[in-house]
Protein backbone atom coordinates (compact mmCIF):
# COMPACT_ATOMS: atom_id res chain seq x y z
CA UNK A 1 0.00 0.00 0.00
CA UNK A 2 2.92 2.29 0.61
CA UNK A 3 3.58 2.24 -3.13
CA UNK A 4 0.81 4.77 -3.55
CA UNK A 5 2.99 7.49 -2.03
CA UNK A 6 5.09 9.64 -4.28
CA UNK A 7 8.55 9.48 -2.77
CA UNK A 8 10.36 12.23 -4.62
CA UNK A 9 10.95 15.71 -3.25
CA UNK A 10 12.74 18.72 -4.78
CA UNK A 11 11.27 17.78 -8.19
CA UNK A 12 12.89 14.38 -8.21
CA UNK A 13 16.31 15.51 -6.97
CA UNK A 14 15.94 13.44 -3.81
CA UNK A 15 14.11 10.14 -3.94
CA UNK A 16 13.40 8.17 -0.79
CA UNK A 17 13.06 4.43 -0.48
CA UNK A 18 10.02 4.41 1.78
CA UNK A 19 7.41 6.78 3.10
CA UNK A 20 8.92 6.65 6.60
CA UNK A 21 12.29 7.64 5.22
CA UNK A 22 10.71 10.53 3.34
CA UNK A 23 9.10 11.78 6.57
CA UNK A 24 12.46 11.92 8.34
CA UNK A 25 14.03 13.53 5.29
CA UNK A 26 11.41 16.27 5.29
CA UNK A 27 11.87 16.76 9.04
CA UNK A 28 15.60 17.32 8.54
CA UNK A 29 14.86 19.82 5.77
CA UNK A 30 12.28 21.71 7.90
CA UNK A 31 14.68 21.78 10.84
CA UNK A 32 17.44 23.25 8.68
CA UNK A 33 15.08 25.94 7.40
CA UNK A 34 13.95 26.81 10.95
CA UNK A 35 17.54 27.00 12.17
CA UNK A 36 18.41 29.35 9.31
CA UNK A 37 15.44 31.55 10.23
CA UNK A 38 16.37 31.68 13.91
CA UNK A 39 20.06 32.41 13.23
CA UNK A 40 19.14 35.20 10.80
CA UNK A 41 16.60 36.50 13.32
CA UNK A 42 19.16 36.67 16.13
CA UNK A 43 22.10 38.11 14.19
CA UNK A 44 20.20 40.21 11.64
CA UNK A 45 23.07 40.59 9.13
CA UNK A 46 23.60 44.21 8.05
CA UNK A 47 23.64 43.19 4.36
CA UNK A 48 20.04 42.08 4.49
CA UNK A 49 18.65 45.22 6.13
CA UNK A 50 18.23 47.11 2.83
CA UNK A 51 14.75 47.89 1.55
CA UNK A 52 13.38 45.62 -1.18
CA UNK A 53 9.84 46.23 -2.46
CA UNK A 54 8.85 48.25 0.59
CA UNK A 55 10.17 45.79 3.18
CA UNK A 56 13.54 44.77 4.57
CA UNK A 57 15.24 42.07 2.47
CA UNK A 58 15.49 39.97 5.64
CA UNK A 59 11.72 40.02 6.10
CA UNK A 60 11.22 38.82 2.53
CA UNK A 61 13.62 35.95 3.23
CA UNK A 62 11.61 35.03 6.34
CA UNK A 63 8.34 35.06 4.40
CA UNK A 64 9.75 33.00 1.54
CA UNK A 65 11.25 30.43 3.93
CA UNK A 66 7.90 30.23 5.73
CA UNK A 67 6.08 29.49 2.49
CA UNK A 68 8.68 26.84 1.68
CA UNK A 69 8.05 25.23 5.06
CA UNK A 70 4.29 25.44 4.56
CA UNK A 71 4.67 23.74 1.18
CA UNK A 72 6.52 20.76 2.59
CA UNK A 73 4.18 20.41 5.58
CA UNK A 74 1.16 20.39 3.27
CA UNK A 75 2.65 18.29 0.50
CA UNK A 76 4.44 15.62 2.53
CA UNK A 77 2.96 15.58 6.04
CA UNK A 78 -0.60 16.16 4.90
CA UNK A 79 -0.01 13.99 1.79
CA UNK A 80 -1.24 16.63 -0.63
CA UNK A 81 1.34 15.24 -3.05
CA UNK A 82 -0.66 12.01 -3.23
CA UNK A 83 -4.09 13.56 -3.79
CA UNK A 84 -5.66 13.97 -7.21
CA UNK A 85 -5.08 17.25 -9.03
CA UNK A 86 -8.68 18.43 -8.68
CA UNK A 87 -8.70 18.20 -4.88
CA UNK A 88 -5.26 19.77 -4.61
CA UNK A 89 -6.24 22.73 -6.79
CA UNK A 90 -9.56 23.20 -5.06
CA UNK A 91 -7.92 23.46 -1.67
CA UNK A 92 -4.69 25.25 -2.49
CA UNK A 93 -5.69 27.81 -5.10
CA UNK A 94 -8.88 28.84 -3.31
CA UNK A 95 -6.91 29.54 -0.15
CA UNK A 96 -4.03 31.24 -1.94
CA UNK A 97 -6.30 33.51 -3.98
CA UNK A 98 -8.42 34.62 -1.03
CA UNK A 99 -5.46 35.08 1.30
CA UNK A 100 -3.53 37.17 -1.23
CA UNK A 101 -6.59 39.32 -1.82
CA UNK A 102 -7.11 39.84 1.92
CA UNK A 103 -3.48 40.66 2.56
CA UNK A 104 -3.33 43.12 -0.32
CA UNK A 105 -6.47 44.98 0.79
CA UNK A 106 -5.52 45.24 4.45
CA UNK A 107 -1.85 46.09 4.03
CA UNK A 108 -2.63 48.70 1.37
CA UNK A 109 -5.17 50.32 3.68
CA UNK A 110 -2.84 50.13 6.69
CA UNK A 111 -0.05 51.79 4.74
CA UNK A 112 -2.43 54.50 3.58
CA UNK A 113 -3.58 55.30 7.12
CA UNK A 114 0.04 55.42 8.25
CA UNK A 115 0.82 57.92 5.51
CA UNK A 116 -2.12 60.05 6.60
CA UNK A 117 -0.74 60.04 10.17
CA UNK A 118 2.79 60.86 9.11
CA UNK A 119 2.29 63.34 6.29
CA UNK A 120 -0.89 65.28 6.81
CA UNK A 121 -4.61 64.96 6.95
CA UNK A 122 -5.32 64.73 3.24
CA UNK A 123 -3.21 62.28 1.35
CA UNK A 124 -5.08 62.04 -1.93
CA UNK A 125 -7.63 64.67 -2.84
CA UNK A 126 -9.91 62.95 -5.29
Partner 1 sequence: MDTTVANTGTEGKTWGGGNQPLKSSYGKMMMWFFIVSDALTFSGFLAAYGFSRFKFIGSWPIADEVFTHVPFFHGNYPMIYVAFMTFVLIMSSVTMVLAVDAGHHMKKTKVTWYMFLTIIGGLIFVGSQAWEWGTFIKGEYGAVQTNGGNILQFGKYETVDGNAVFKRVAVSDIAIDAHGERVEHERKNGLWFVDESALPAYTVDEVYNGLKANSDVLVRTQIINDEGEKTVLSREESLNQIKNNGKLVVQGANLQVNEYGTSLFADFFFFITGFHGFHVFSGVVINIIIFFNVILGTYERRGSYEMVEKVGLYWHFVDLVWVFVFTFFYLV
Interatomic CA distance for residues 29 and 16, integer angstroms: 13
Chosen residue from 51, 118, 125, 126 binding partner 1 by CB under 8 A = 118
Q: Is 8 helix (H, G, I), strand (E, B) or coil?
A: strand
Q: Are 56 and 63 in contact (CB under 8 A)?
A: no
Q: Is 93 helix (H, G, I), strand (E, B) or coil?
A: helix
Considering only residues 57 to 116 of the shown chain, the ones binding partner 1 according to CB under 8 A are 59, 62-63, 65-66, 69-70, 73-74, 76-79, 82-84, 86-87, 90-91, 94-95, 98-99, 102-103, 105-107, 109-111, 113-114
Burial (CB < 10 A; 0-12, 13-18, 19+), residue 91, is middle
Residues making contact with partner 1 (CB under 8 A): 1-2, 4-5, 19-20, 23-24, 27, 30-31, 34-35, 37-38, 41-42, 49, 59, 62-63, 65-66, 69-70, 73-74, 76-79, 82-84, 86-87, 90-91, 94-95, 98-99, 102-103, 105-107, 109-111, 113-114, 117-118
Amino acid sequence: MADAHKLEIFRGLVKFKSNTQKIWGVLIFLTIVTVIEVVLGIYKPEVLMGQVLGMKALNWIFIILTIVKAYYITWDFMHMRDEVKALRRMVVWTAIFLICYLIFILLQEGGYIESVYSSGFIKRDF
